[in-house]
Amino acid sequence: MVRSMSSFTTTFILILYFLLFPIWIVNVTLSQVLIAYAVYWFLFDFIQSAYMHRWAAHNLWNPPKWVQYFGATVGILSLISSPIGWAAWHRTHHAHSDTEKDPHSPVYKSFWHIVFNYKYHDFEPRRGIDRMRNKYFAFILKHEALIVIVGNLLIFAVLPFQWFLTLWAIPVAFMVLNTNFLINFVQHKNGEPTNNPIFWPILFSEVYHKSHHNKPKMSYTKWDPAGWIISKLGWTHE
């Protein structure tokens, strides 16, 4: 088992983004709320769910090379690691689901550890060996902390403050929160995976978590925006 070297950096930035939420909500407009939700959908449903989860970890579709590099870059910048780290971490979860070796079992790990110290979670690096063969993935994992700091500072420098919050900080914060809290904590809180369709507006296809553990598939419902787009673009294995 190993621990990510970028843990402190990502945890610090995540907490900082949550501390900025009151500033955003006081000054936000309705249009900015809708835009923030659209960005949140893209980060959660496409980058985290379709790209990191369904491709990097489970190889359930076939993204073009440019999509692979784009997804990896956005994943690093949005505090959820590289395809190597994400695949190894999630495959470790599947191999040891709801046991003491599970990186984020709520039965054996604390709420704080699962939700905020998620980059401190133990994982087995050998489970990401296939993704390590990609030199770009290996490079961004090796330099993750530096890339996260520089990249997020550049985004902050380019955008006006309220738009930085709307287009980046708030969507990133809630994407990471809902991944770690609603999926890794709530959907495993009784010591086994569950399906929770009520969470669809914020978790999308990830609400079918028990079904996923039973048999990983590209999609479990027709109400799967990222899956529908991927299918229409012809990026599936069929």
Distance CA 227, CA 218 (A): 7
pLDDT digits (tens, 9 = 90+) for 131-167: 999 999 999 999 999 999 999 999 999 999 999 999 9
Does residue 126 sit within a domain?
yes
Neighbours of 232 (CB within 10 A): 9
Range of the domain at 156: 7-232
Does residue 238 sit within a domain?
no
Does residue 1 sit within a domain?
no
Does residue 237 sit within a domain?
no
Does residue 129 sit within a domain?
yes
* DSSP label at residue 81: -
Does residue 222 sit within a domain?
yes
Does residue 213 sit within a domain?
yes
The sign one gets for the Cα dihedral 218, 223, 227, 233 is positive
Question: Tell me, what's the pLDDT at 118?
Answer: 62
- What residues have CB less than 8 Å from 59, skipping those under 6 apart? none
pTM above 0.75, yes or no: yes
Question: How many domains does the chain divide into?
Answer: 1
Q: Tell me which range, 124-128, 160-164, 178-182, is most confidently predicted by mean pLDDT.
A: 160-164
Does residue 2 sit within a domain?
no
